Amino acid sequence: MGGCSQIQSGEHIVSKGLFEDSISVKGFPWCKDEIKTVGINSLVANILCSEHNSALSKFDASAIKTFEGIRSMSERQNRYKDVLVKARFGNKKHNINGYEFEKWATKTFLNIMHYSKKSDLLYDKEYLLKIVYTNEQFKEPYGLYSFAKKGQKIQSPGHLSFVPITNNYDKETIGTLFEFHGYLFMLQFPSISGKPFIKEIGLPGSLVDWSGAAEMWRPKQLIAREAIKRYKDTIEFHW
């Protein structure tokens, strides 16, 4: 990448600020088929020098702000259900830099691939590194998507999962799905071989409940609204 310092820096595989003390994980070499709970500081690898690690902190901040907004939306919904007198809660908005959140998703995908030692997966690593470390941006139809469908239920509080997506031809990795607190996002990147766009292939079987969901490239907003409109929570992405 160039411009490295002489100091090696431990990088959290998943941004530390997203969780408190521990995290439950699955799919790494030491927990391929079972979920294990470990201290968040256990998921650290010497991937970057201190200079490059520090440069990515703003992406972590955007991710933390996004996920705090999603958590707040869920908590407000639960509190609303519990109160006896349903007074108007008022509206709440969380402003997010969409480009930084998109770059965080790219960075986290690369971290997971490195830590998992998944050398059998084919993807354009150099292109993704350029997205993370330079001013290069994804061009439509590539980059961040959100998914939503009618009747969507928010489950698994505090849950974060990443699922790489491969095409059906040469097992090239062409994107990743990541879910937090029941909200589904997708990061789509160009294939080396020029094979089809993800939406032509369909979602993995493990996410069959999301079949029929509508996708939106670089979403402008995520909105949670109480049925009779007593309050509205909004996460607004700025692109």
pLDDT above 70 (res 120): no
Cα 137 from Cα 103, distance rounded (Å): 9
Q: Residue 111: exposed, middle, or buried by beta-carbon count in 10 A (0-12, 13-18, 19+)?
A: buried
pTM, full prediction = 0.77
pLDDT tens per residue across span 75-111: 766 665 555 445 555 678 899 999 999 999 998 888 8
pLDDT above 90 (res 137): yes
What rounded mean pLDDT belongs to the chain? 71
pLDDT of res. 60: 85
Q: 153: which 2 tokens? A: 């239920």
pLDDT above 80 (res 166): no
Hey, which of 85-89, 148-152, 169-173, 234-238 has the most confident mean pLDDT?
A: 234-238
Which of the two residues, 26 and 75, has the higher pLDDT score? 75
* Residue written as token pair 């969507």: 152
Which of the two residues, 104 and 197, has the higher pLDDT score? 104
pLDDT of res. 10: 47
Please, which residues have CB within 8 angstroms of residue 211's CB and are 6 or more apart in sequence? 202, 203
Q: Terminus-to-terminus CA distance in the chain, angstroms?
A: 26
pLDDT of res. 203: 54
Q: Which long-range contacts (CB under 8 A, 24 or more apart) does 196-202 make?
A: 196/167, 197/141, 198/165, 198/174, 201/165, 201/167, 201/168
Mean pLDDT of 36-59: 58
Q: Domain locations in the chain?
A: 67-238
Confidence class for position 144, pLDDT limits 50, 70, 90: very high
Confidence class for position 163, pLDDT limits 50, 70, 90: confident
pLDDT of res. 9: 46
